[in-house]
A = this chain, B = another copy of it.
Amino acid sequence: MSTGKMPPDGAPRRHEPDADTIVGGILGGDRHMLSRAITLIESQKPEHRQKAHEILDRCLKHKSVSIRIGITGSPGAGKSTFIEALGEVIIRSGLSLAVLAIDPSSRQTKGSILGDKARMEKLSGRKEAFIRPSASSGHLGGLSPKTHETIVLCEAAGYDVILVETVGVGQSEVEVDTMVDFILLLMLPGSGDELQGIKRGIMEIADAIAITKSDGAQEGIAQLSKAEFEAALRMLPAKYPFWQRSVFLTSALGGRGIDEVWGNITTFIEEIRRNGLLAENRREQLRNLLYGILEGMLKKEFFSCPDVTKLREGIERQVVSAELSPFTGANRLMEAFTRRR
Interfacial residues, chain A to chain B (CB-CB below 8 A): 52-53, 56-57, 60-61, 149, 192, 195-205, 228-229, 231-232, 234-239, 282-283, 286-287, 289-290, 293-294, 297-299, 301-302, 315-316, 319-322, 325-331, 333-334, 337-338, 340-341
Contacts and interface: CB of A to CB of B under 8 A. Distances in A.
A196 B237 contact: yes
A204 B56 CA distance: 38
Contact of A290 (B56, B204, B239, B316): B316
Contacts of A204: 200-201, 203-204
Contact of A319 (B195, B290, B322): B290
B316 A287 contact: yes
Contacts of A205: 200
What DSSP secondary structure best describes chain A's contact surface?
helix
B57 A325 contact: yes
Contacts of A60: 322, 325
User: What 9 A-B pairs have minimum CB-CB distances, sorted nearest first?
Assistant: A232-B235, A200-B204, A201-B201, A293-B330, A290-B326, A289-B326, A57-B325, A294-B330, A53-B327
A211 to B, nearest CB: 13
Contacts of A61: 322
A96 to B, nearest CB: 22
Contacts of A286: 319-320, 322, 326
A290 B308 CA distance: 14
A199 B237 contact: yes
A238 B283 contact: no
Contacts of A326: 286, 289-290, 293
Contact of A237 (B197, B239, B287, B329): B197
A197 B199 CA distance: 22
A331 B56 CA distance: 13
Contact of A298 (B231, B237, B299, B319): B299
Nearest to A340: B341
A331 B53 contact: yes
A102 B136 CA distance: 40
A297 B322 CA distance: 21
Contacts of A328: 53, 57
A74 B315 CA distance: 39
B297 A334 contact: yes
